[in-house]
Structure 1
Amino acid sequence: MALSNFTSGGSDDDSNPPGGHPPGLPTPGSPPGDTDVDILDELLVNYNEKFAKADPTMFRETLIEQVLSVLISKNKPNVLLKGSAGVGKTRIVEDIARRIELGDALIPDHLTSHTIYELPIANLIAGSSFVGSLEAKVKAVVDFAVDPKNKVILFIDEIHQITGGTSSHSDPIGRKISQMLKPALARGDMSVIGATTSTEVRAVDEDPAFARRFTPLIVDELTVEQTRTVLASVRPGLVAHYHHQIAVTDDVLADTVTIAEANSRAGQHRPDNAITLLDRAMADRVLEQKKLVVQAQNDGDTALAQILQNAGQVQLTKARVLDVAKRLMTGNAQRPDFDLETLRTTLRSRLQGQDDVLDQLTDHLAREDLELFPATTPTTWLLAGASGVGKTDTAKIIARQRTGSDPIILNMTEYHGSWSTSKIIGSPPGYLGSDSNQELPFDTLESNPHRVILLDEFEKADKAVQRLFLSAFDEGYIRNAHGKLLDFSKALIICTTNAARDSLSGHRIGFSPVRTPVPPPSLARALTGFFDPELLGRFSLIVGFNPIDADTYRLIMATAYARQREHIMAVKPRLASCLPTEIPDDELRALADRTYVDSQGARPAGKAVRTWIENRLLAQRAGVTVAAAMPPPEESETSPPG
């Protein structure tokens, strides 16, 4: 139905003399009949015409009936559809418009011949630089909608943008629009359908006078089975869109839903995530086929190019869908090929005396990499043990092997107050720093959610900070101060702790210097005094690192020497040739005896080895005997940890 059926045309004069009235708008105080139809055509979108031939909406019969029952009510015939992004709120309105246009038997007599018009907020704001032009546009829409002869139902998507909330982040333009709509809404002179997300509906609730004029209806997320059915219904349209170049089997459709579930960010929901993934995968396959044709032409193989062009439909594969899903998640930041045996070998070569612990960690990673179940929450580890046993090094090695980059490291000693949560999620609106554009530590998860996060010395963080991560462990996301979701569901979060180190350092057997590892039940009991039980219960794995004894310390020193000599060989091979392949056993034992400190674990080893290398090279340069190159006891024993 054209708007010209209801309103008369306006002036064709587009001039706008200085100080004159904006063109294309009714003059203030003019009757509704003088409204310029052109401006209404620019402001409103006729859903009846636009979606008359659209496919029916599936699994929404009950909700559509609820919407229709509100629209025919005598008082407040206004609906507020609220639900997570991507669940299909707008599709419900589109389907009602389709049914009205086609004369569906379900449509009540009160709504026959009605037209649903969308009012995009951007259309109201665009070109409203003149004083009063915005008000004139809103008045034109209201006058058109309240006229019973026009039989109008307004649809306002993202309706939270025009609420009149009093918070500091409320838009003054939105408040102005809502104030002009309230009288007509209160009298029941017009019907409005609004749509907003479950989180942004709070902006509507901030304006009680506006919110009470609507009946809220919740739009739930479709189930996995329902999403498969929806995907099958949209398949013909997608195939036709790509000129029947791509064929999609039922098995690939089912795989698409599963892959979308496993690779969607927090805030993406069914069925939109699966439909979007299928569409992108088909587009990617079309481009790939085009590239093959161009490559054949560039190579001068006209026969192959002709065969490829006349190949007809090509099959979309599960591998293609999975590849596209990964790229949608991470962009160009692809995780490198991950080899479990290489990781195990690297860990064992760098960390001595922890073979049983490392086997637990690599076994857990192997289970996670099977990807048997959708990843809705992150993998979370708590690595406990005394200082210097290798907890932080373990996290760094795993991060480089799995992601090709260093982990996101938060030194939790810097988050010692409850106010420190603002350093992680930002400051709430109205507080100091709320308008800052400074990058927060987890902003990089948006470009690559497959990251390793290291929360070092987790026990030193304030309880409020620890409990902030409870949501990430339990739900897979944290909501920042501005309502945006930080998706942790694909991350590996590694927390380290020195808590209860006296209990975690093991027990001596008689007078032996050897200590035994703490069994898991004792480990959990020892940590309970430092962490909330509900937080401990949400860790995927809690392991206690073995204490470093004197024998292990000597082995660590030997390994550190081999690694540092290899580094010197790469940068200064002449100096490396002056060093022995290994530290002589007697010197290694003497060096270990002088520098080993039970409470510091392996921390002094690196510095002691570096000092030994430097002293030996300096001594050779000065012609001094090698024995004189040993570091004095005072230097080794008083050296700071780390």
Structure 2
Amino acid sequence: MREPKRLKIETVLAVHDLESGRVLSQPIARPKHAAYDNPSDARISMELFLTELLERDGASTRAAFSLPAGDIGIQHVEVELPNARALVGAPLSFSMPCVVLPHRRAHWVLVLPLAMTVYVGRQESLEQVVASEAKRLLGALEPDAFTRLGYFCAKSTRLERMTVSVRRRPVPGDGAKTLRRKLDRAHVRRRALQTLHAVGRQVRAHDVRGPEPVGMRDALTTFSALLKAHDKPQPRRSVVIVAPQGCGKTTLIHAWLRAHPDRWLFATSVAQLIAGMSSLGQWQERIKRVMEAAETLDAVLWLDDLRDLMGDRSGAFDLAGAIRPWLDEGRVRLVSELTPEAADLFATRQAGLFSSMHPLRLESHGPREATTALLRCVEYARKFEPDRPALAEDAIPTVIELTDRFVPYRTFPAKAVQLYEELRATAERQHVHDQQRLTREHVYESFSRSTGVPAFLLRDDRAWRSERATEHLRRRIVGQDAAVAAVVDALAVVKAGLSPGDRPLASFLFVGPTGVGKTALARALAELVFGSEQRLARFDMSELSGPDAAERLLRGVGGSEGRLTSIVRREPFSVVLLDEIEKAHPSVFDLLLGVLGEGRLTDARGRTAFFHNVILVMTSNLGT
């Protein structure tokens, strides 16, 4: 027997916004039914309830709930409270929200707080008739103080339309059993929804904010095809999005949800899945319930970081082993994100689970795509955030240029958008006028303050004052005029843009006896160029004279990060001082060839540390 087609019923809800932030939602066809919760959950609960109610009841109920898309509106009517003068010594009235339904040339009016329906003729005053009837009913009911307080609970009232999809009743036969199965299915779906809400947050299309993504059309098409819901039973696929940080992994998921607003998407984490569970079988039962709920609703589970499944090496929580069978059998859809380095590590440690998911790789964008993305962000902000400072369009190339040159560890478009958001936040803290445009001057000033890069290196219109630099260094270093002049000349070359862009900003070798000011000159250089002596990272090379010296600089000790690479990644704008370089092991000199020649080093974890914005200083007292 063919599955009967579904019937779509358009109905109207009255939604009362309460002071607590929650809402009270009730169908105007039967106001006695209500759902009390936050706005999104109240709507979901009401939709599930009405689906069950309309599938259970007959055609008359469906006809009552089916309201035409006519001029149904909300109107507030002032109603005087009977006996108010005796209670408070003065007349007291309050505004009652009423739903007005046109009927030929007259109106039917539903007074929501009283659940009372009033007919208003074509020549009658709606406010007078409703106020009179409501006052008469209140006088007959004589409500107590608590009931009267309920008339004032709503901050505002609005109408929302809802489409309820119900199954048509099958042609005679096993009607009771069919109805029982429908009720059972509705109950199971309601329990599944409660389970998923307990361990995650439902992400809805209307919750997604921001402009349309750039350069993701092909990736979105592939992602949508992998998560496509089929009418016929087919294995459900899981996807892991592999891309560098800031390439748009989360943006891709949001774009998919915008294109498929009717799909269920729940964001969760490993911590939420096992919260409050011990290792004695409780967490396994919860994982089973969550997976069954996701299978029932065909919901997509969005795990924020797949690396958390590698976290517990004791074996107490083998979450990967508990989840993998559901993915292997194609019963649940799981979506997660990983960087390329994390994906390689995960594929090694959890090869079985990784093979159950389809890897979707995203490429990083270039300056052109980043410019388009930033322009869309600016246009979106002007339209939807008019009360915040806006970036001038002629300042966009400056943002792209600065982040491309001085922010090597992040990718486009994220690093450009992040600088843009930091710029707006800084402007708001400084009480910049809402309508003022943030110009190139604001961009340079904010970037220089946050990174420590001096303005004369960022801007071509700022001249390099050799006399001031010489005076600054001579105040700190006495009797080393030749060395100070050499340092100032090297910085002038950097300012002129004549130094190679793929090497450190400048490289110096200070040679002289102990106490002549080699280290002091490096500190003064850090203060001159980067604004603070704290921008100096000093390495005592006498501690790196052993055969493991290069290993310690790159790999660290006990699985930690390498000493040199970690500092440069953390402080890309700094002076790196290698003190007493002649005492270092020969392997360190081989390591420095990569720094001086290519301006970068790759550590044991495969991450690259760039020295393009570093001033490298080596000192030695050899031969003195």
Give the TM-score normalised by the residue count of structure 1. Answer: 0.57
Q: Give yes or no for contact 1:59–1:226 (8 Å, CA) kept in 2.
A: yes
Distance 1:374 1:236 in 2: 37
CA RMSD of aligned residues (A): 4.4
Report if aligned partners of 1:376, 1:490 keep a CA contact under 8 Å in 2: no
Provide the rounded CA distance (Å) in 2 between the counterparts of 1:125 and 1:377: 48
* Match of residue 396 from structure 2: 253
1:323 equivalenced with 2:445 (yes/no): yes
Partner of residue 419, structure 1: 548
Structure 1 CA distance, aligned partners of 2:509 and 2:542? Answer: 16
Candidates 589, 600, 613, aligned match of 1:490 = 613
Q: Is 1:344 paired with 2:467? A: no
Q: Is the 8 A contact 1:162 1:174 kept in 2?
A: no
Q: Distance in 2 between matches of 1:373 and 1:225?
A: 26
Equivalent residue number for residue 281 of structure 1: 423
Query: How far apart, in 2, do the equivalents of 1:342 and 1:468 lie?
Result: 36
**2:462 is aligned with 1:462:** no
Identity of aligned residues (%): 18
After the TM superposition, which of the residue ranges 51-60 and 176-185 deviates more from structure 2?
A: 51-60
Paired residue for 1:127? 276
Partner AA of 2:525 in structure 1: I
Worse overlay, 46-55 or 233-242: 46-55
Aligned: 1:94 with 2:254 = yes
SS in 1 for 2:430: helix
Instruction: Work out whether residues 261 and 374 of structure 1, in 8 Å CA contact, stay in contact via their aligned partners in 2.
Output: no
Indicate conservation of the 8 Å contact 2:247/2:365, yes or no: yes
Instruction: Measure how far apart 1:323 and its partner are.
Output: 2.5
Q: Which residue of 2 aligns with 1:588?
A: none
Aligned-residue offset at 1:318: 1.7
Q: 1:326 to 1:374 in 2, by over 3 A?
A: farther
Which deviations, in whole Å up to 9, do the C-alpha atoms of 1:19-54 show, x marking residues without a partner? xxxxxxxxxxxx977946434113233334345675
Correspondence 1:402-481 to 2 at 5 A:
402=529, 403-405=531-533, 407-421=536-550, 423-424=552-553, 427=556, 431=558, 434=559, 449-469=572-592
In structure 2, the CA distance between the partners of 1:497 and 1:76, relative to structure 1 (3 Å rule), is: farther
Where is the strand percentage greater, Structure 1 or Structure 2?
Answer: 2
Amino acid at match of 1:181: I
Match of 1:542 in 2: none
Within 1, Cα distance between the matches of 2:591 and 2:397?
Answer: 36
Q: Which residue of 2 aligns with 1:38?
A: 194
Q: Which amino acid letter does the alignment assign opposite residue 208 of structure 1?
A: A
| 1:195, distance to aligned residue in structure 2 (A) | 0.8
Partners of 1:385 and 1:316 lie apart in 2 by 47
Conserved? CA contact 1:145–1:153, under 8 Å: yes
Alpha-carbon spacing, 1:126–1:450, altered in 2? closer, same or farther (3 Å)? same
Aligned mates of 2:346, 2:428 — CA distance in 1: 43
**2:509 counterpart residue number:** 383
**Partner of residue 144, structure 2:** none
Equivalent in the alignment of 2:308:
161
1:193, distance to aligned residue in structure 2 (A):
2.2
Could you say what secondary structure the match of 2:303 adopts? strand
Match of 1:221 among 351, 360, 364: 364
Whether contact under 8 Å (1:449, 1:488) holds in the other structure is yes
Q: Which residue, out of 315, 318, 321, partners 1:176?
A: 318
Matched, 1:58 2:211: no
Q: Which residue in the other structure is 1:401 paired with? A: 528
Give the SS at the match of 1:255: helix
Change in 2 beyond 3 A, CA 1:414/1:62: same
Distance change (3 Å), C-alpha of 1:192 and 1:477:
farther
Give 1:230-309 correspondences, 5 Å limit.
230-239=373-382, 242-264=385-407, 266-289=408-431
- AA partner of residue 528 (structure 2): Q
Q: How far apart are 1:445 and its partner, in Å?
A: 5.8
Tell me which moved more, 239-248 or 471-480: 471-480
* Cα shift at 1:125: 3.7
Q: Tell me: CA distance 1:339–1:408, structure 2 relative to 1, closer, same or farther (3 Å).
A: farther
Structure 1 residues 41 and 312: CA distance shift in structure 2, 3 A: closer
Give the superposition deviation at 1:61: 1.0
* 1:603-622 matches, cutoff 5 A: none
Code of the aligned partner of 1:184: W
Q: Report the TM-score, using the length of structure 2 for normalisation.
A: 0.58
**How far did residue 71 of structure 1 move?**
3.8
Letter in 2 for 1:246: P
Tell me by how many angstroms 1:464 deviates: 3.8
Please report how far the alpha carbon of residue 223 of structure 1 lies from its aligned counterpart in structure 2 after TM superposition. 0.9
Residue 303 of structure 1 is matched in structure 2 by none
Change (3 A) 1:32 1:142: farther
Shift of 1:98: 1.0
For residues 467 and 187 of structure 1, do their structure 2 counterparts lie closer, same or farther at Cα, with a shift above 3 Å needed?
farther
| Change in 2 beyond 3 A, CA 1:401/1:250 | closer
Q: Is the 8 A contact 1:48 1:100 kept in 2?
A: no
Distance 2:439 2:588 in 1: 44
Please give the alpha-carbon distance, in whole angstroms, between the structure 2 residues aligned to 1:128 and 1:373: 59
Answer yes or no: is the 8 Å Cα contact 2:193–2:293 preserved in 1: no
The CA deviation at 1:398 is 2.6
2 CA distance for matches of 1:373 and 1:249?
A: 32
Once the two structures are TM-superposed, the CA of residue 463 in structure 1 deviates from its matched residue by: 4.0
> Is the 1:399–1:452 Cα contact (8 Å) retained in structure 2?
yes
The residue correspondences of 1:10-159 to structure 2 (distance < 5 A) are 35=191, 37-51=193-207, 55-71=211-227, 77-101=237-261, 114-128=263-277, 131-147=280-296, 150-159=297-306
Q: Deviations over 1:163-220 (max 9, x none)?
A: 4xxxxx6555896221111111112222222211122223312221122122322212
Change (3 A) 1:247 1:392: closer
Q: How many residues align?
A: 432
Maintained 8 Å contact 1:161/1:174: no
| Unaligned stretches of 5+ residues in structure 1 | 10-30, 102-112, 164-168, 291-310, 502-598, 601-642
Structure 2 letter corresponding to 1:187:
E
